[in-house]
């Protein structure tokens, strides 16, 4: 087991008000730091205190000590490679930089077509590569969601995901759309392939067996938080059916049974980790999901957060009300089912348009109202959707995702807010018995002034402040940034 080297530069203080100032440049963990493994999250118990939400009835993720958790991170992907060299573009640097910038979560993509290139033959080399990635994540205290990713079904259609041997088109046509990859989902051959995946008994068994292999191999790895059972599932539209109606039918009649099958398969090998279930991407247009009940004790609703117009290159329009309609759509299901929400992907392609700063402000505020966290798209170095440029600097406006936040709160949360313009964060909670509360501070330029009000012990550990208070104590943690904090190299 990897051991943690703790960096303590502020001595413990017990008082009514504790204040100390942390220089941003000193917040990154030392190169040889070995974070302690995170506590394994557990399903929120009915009697456990829950963080309040502006969307009442949506529980929060908690760990095995009952602490309220917040996940913030990014998808980590290597779509370019296939076969024995798959995942080779993902390196230890990805996770070191995630931690250095204050993130604690990675949604790691893997592909069924690489894992099982021939029916019943699982690539030992591919499994080893996944294991190595998980070891890197654990080294830097990053919790991982393993995502069975697909785009436009799989390699038969020039993409990645479902193996060729599991693709059945019934001879229907497929026309590539290089200028609009998402249009491929509406090709007859692709839609029919989804129908066979959902309905053919042998493909149902194959998909379940694939997940059993993954859960058995990685279920006890300390970095693993859970499993995203399939990325952005779609299906076959019927004649005369509009897209919203088709999406709700597919979710109710095909995705719900599939998720319950896969839940049983995973639970035969792993009883502890969370199962993340996605609706169709149509929820991004403000369409509530038709998913039914997933009969599992640890389920997370994991919608994606994309807008069609913005994906096509349009600027954000605050007056259009898209974020508000999306929030209303994605919260109805978890409110009904009493399950947590973690948004699995979000972030527009063009971050330099005039209203994109406003978009990130509005989006971050919305996500904090109802979710237990999110994974942005995508943690890579370059252009396009990449969070960072080739030098490790944040892409335009994406530095706004790196804010102070509380990865774990030991107690009942009364308020948890961040003001992007003022660089001002405040957490108010009543301490419980779950141990320490953790505050993460991003390594932005300038300095962070941290004030803890209440009879509490506060210590700095690298880029974190940990607060411990007696049960029943009301604690207020305030973090104020000073100096420039935008578009700087934090690598």
Q: Give the domain CATH number at 166.
A: 3.20.20.80
User: Would you say residue 38 has pLDDT above 80?
Assistant: no
Residue 414 domain flag: yes
Residues 53 and 96 in one domain: no
Residue 131 domain flag: yes
Residues 206 and 198: their CA atoms lie apart, in Å, by 11
Residue 462 is predicted with a pLDDT of 77
Asked if 399 and 444 touch (Cβ cutoff 8 Å), the reply is: yes
**Cα angle at 46 between 43 and 49, to 5 degrees?**
90
Residue 56 is predicted with a pLDDT of 60
Residues 206 and 306 in one domain: yes
| More confident of the two residues 366 and 16 | 366
Residue 181 domain flag: yes
The pTM (predicted TM-score) of the whole model is 0.90
pLDDT band at 427 (very low <50, low <70, confident <90, very high): very high
First vs last C-alpha separation in the chain: 26
User: Would you say residue 259 has pLDDT above 70?
Assistant: yes
User: Would you say residue 429 has pLDDT above 80?
Assistant: yes
Residue 9: count of CB within 10 angstroms of its CB: 12
Mean pLDDT within 68-77: 97
Mean pLDDT within 222-241: 98
Residue 22 is predicted with a pLDDT of 62
pLDDT digits (tens, 9 = 90+) for 292-350: 999 999 999 999 999 999 999 999 999 999 999 999 999 999 999 999 999 999 999 99
In the sheet with 71-76, reading across from the earlier edge strand, the strands are 299-301, 274-277, 224-228, 143-148, 105-110, 71-76, 373-376
Mean pLDDT within 405-421: 95
Residues 410 and 397 in one domain: no
Residue 83 is predicted with a pLDDT of 77
- Residue whose C-alpha is closest to residue 60's, from 360, 434, 441: 434
Residue 64 domain flag: no
Residue 17 is predicted with a pLDDT of 66
User: Would you say residue 26 has pLDDT above 50?
Assistant: no
Residue 447 is predicted with a pLDDT of 82
Residue 114 domain flag: yes
Residue 227 domain flag: yes
User: Would you say residue 488 has pLDDT above 90?
Assistant: no
Residues 161 and 293 in one domain: yes
Last residue of one domain, picked from the residues 402, 419, 441: 402
User: Would you say residue 239 has pLDDT above 50?
Assistant: yes
Residues 127 and 122: their CA atoms lie apart, in Å, by 8
Which of 20-29, 54-63, 68-77, 198-207 is least confident?
20-29
Going by the DSSP 8-state scheme, the letter that residue 320 receives in this structure is G
| More confident of the two residues 62 and 71 | 71
Residues 175 and 105 in one domain: yes
| C-alpha distance from residue 337 to each of 123, 127, 249, 330, 370 (Å) | 37, 34, 18, 12, 14
Residue the block writes with tokens 């640097």:
93
| More confident of the two residues 87 and 339 | 339
pLDDT band at 216 (very low <50, low <70, confident <90, very high): very high
User: Would you say residue 39 has pLDDT above 90?
Assistant: no
Domain that holds residue 445: 1-57+404-491
Residues 395 and 410 in one domain: no
| More confident of the two residues 369 and 16 | 369
Q: What percent of the chain has pLDDT over 70?
A: 86
Last residue of one domain, picked from the residues 367, 382, 402: 402
Asked if 388 and 97 touch (Cβ cutoff 8 Å), the reply is: yes
Residues 474 and 476: their CA atoms lie apart, in Å, by 7
User: Would you say residue 6 has pLDDT above 50?
Assistant: no
Residues 79 and 217 in one domain: yes
Residue 51 is predicted with a pLDDT of 44
Asked if 388 and 381 touch (Cβ cutoff 8 Å), the reply is: yes
Determine which helix (DSSP H) or strand (DSSP E) holds 244, and give its type and residue range.
Answer: helix 243-250
| More confident of the two residues 40 and 300 | 300
Residues 61 and 340: their CA atoms lie apart, in Å, by 6
Q: What percent of the chain has pLDDT over 90?
A: 80
Residue the block writes with tokens 């597919």:
250
Report the mean per-residue pLDDT for the chain.
88
Mean pLDDT within 204-210: 98
Residues 201 and 312 in one domain: yes
Residues 114 and 219 in one domain: yes
Residue 13 domain flag: yes
Residue 84 is predicted with a pLDDT of 72
Residues 314 and 444 in one domain: no
Q: How far is CA 172 from the centre of its chain?
A: 35
Residues 142 and 287 in one domain: yes
pLDDT digits (tens, 9 = 90+) for 102-146: 999 999 999 999 999 999 999 999 999 999 999 999 999 999 999
Residues 227 and 296: their CA atoms lie apart, in Å, by 13
Mean pLDDT within 32-55: 41
Residue 280 is predicted with a pLDDT of 98
Domain count within the chain = 2
Last residue of one domain, picked from the residues 378, 402, 426: 402
Residue 483 is predicted with a pLDDT of 61
Mean pLDDT within 360-370: 96
Which of 83-97, 190-204, 314-328, 424-438 is least confident?
83-97
Q: Take residue 137 and report the two structure tokens written for it.
A: 């994540």
User: Would you say residue 64 has pLDDT above 90?
Assistant: no
Residues 94 and 226 in one domain: yes
Torsion-angle region of residue 102: left (phi > 0), alpha (psi -120 to 50) or beta? left
Give the contacts of 89 (CB within 8 A, at least 6 positions apart). Answer: 78, 80, 81
Residues 402 and 263: their CA atoms lie apart, in Å, by 33
Residue 63 domain flag: no
């Amino acid at each position: 087991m990897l051991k943690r080297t703790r960096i303590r530069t502020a001595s413990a203080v017990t008082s009514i008000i504790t204040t100390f100032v942390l220089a941003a440049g000193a917040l990154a963990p030392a190169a040889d730091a070995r974070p302690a493994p995170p506590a394994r999250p557990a399903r929120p118990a009915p009697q456990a205190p829950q963080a309040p939400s502006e969307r009442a009835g949506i529980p929060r993720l908690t760990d095995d000590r009952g602490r309220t958790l917040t996940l913030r991170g990014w998808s980590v992907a290597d779509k370019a490679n296939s076969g024995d060299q798959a995942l080779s573009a993902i390196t230890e640097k990805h996770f070191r930089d995630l931690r250095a910038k204050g993130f604690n979560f990675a949604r790691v993509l893997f592909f069924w077509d690489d894992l099982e290139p021939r029916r019943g033959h699982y690539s030992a080399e591919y499994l080893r590569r996944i294991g190595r990635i998980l070891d890197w994540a654990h080294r830097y205290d990053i919790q991982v969601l393993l995502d069975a990713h697909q785009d436009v079904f799989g390699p038969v259609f020039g993409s990645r995901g479902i193996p060729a041997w599991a693709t059945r088109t019934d001879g229907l046509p497929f026309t590539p759309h290089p200028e609009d990859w998402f249009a491929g989902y509406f090709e007859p051959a692709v839609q029919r392939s989804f129908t066979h995946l959902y309905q053919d008994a042998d493909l149902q068994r194959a998909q379940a067996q694939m997940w059993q292999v993954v859960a058995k191999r990685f279920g006890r790895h300390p970095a693993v938080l859970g499993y995203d059972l399939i990325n952005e599932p779609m299906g076959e539209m019927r004649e005369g059916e509009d897209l919203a109606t088709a999406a709700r039918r597919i979710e109710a009649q095909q995705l719900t049974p599939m998720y319950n099958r896969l839940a049983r398969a995973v639970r035969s090998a792993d009883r502890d980790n969370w199962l993340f279930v996605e609706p169709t991407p149509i929820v991004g247009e403000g369409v509530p999901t038709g998913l039914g009940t997933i009969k599992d004790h640890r389920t997370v609703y994991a919608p994606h957060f994309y807008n069609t117009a913005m994906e096509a290159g349009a600027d954000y329009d605050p007056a259009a009300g898209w974020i508000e309609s999306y929030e209303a759509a994605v919260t109805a299901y978890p409110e009904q089912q009493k399950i947590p929400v973690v948004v699995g992907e979000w972030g527009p392609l063009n971050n330099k348009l005039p209203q994109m700063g406003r978009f990130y402000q509005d989006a971050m505020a919305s996500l904090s109202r109802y979710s237990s966290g999110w994974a942005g798209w995508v943690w890579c170095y370059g252009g396009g959707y990449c969070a960072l440029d080739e030098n490790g600097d944040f892409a335009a406006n994406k530095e706004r995702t790196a804010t102070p936040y509380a990865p774990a709160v030991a107690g009942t949360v009364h308020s948890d807010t961040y003001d992007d313009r003022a660089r001002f964060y405040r957490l108010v909670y009543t301490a419980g018995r779950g141990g320490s509360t953790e505050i993460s501070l991003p390594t932005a330029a300038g300095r962070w002034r941290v004030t803890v009000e209440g009879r509490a012990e506060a210590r700095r550990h690298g880029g974190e402040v940990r607060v411990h208070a007696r049960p029943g104590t009301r604690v207020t943690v305030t973090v104020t940034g000073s100096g420039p904090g935008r578009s700087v190299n934090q690598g």
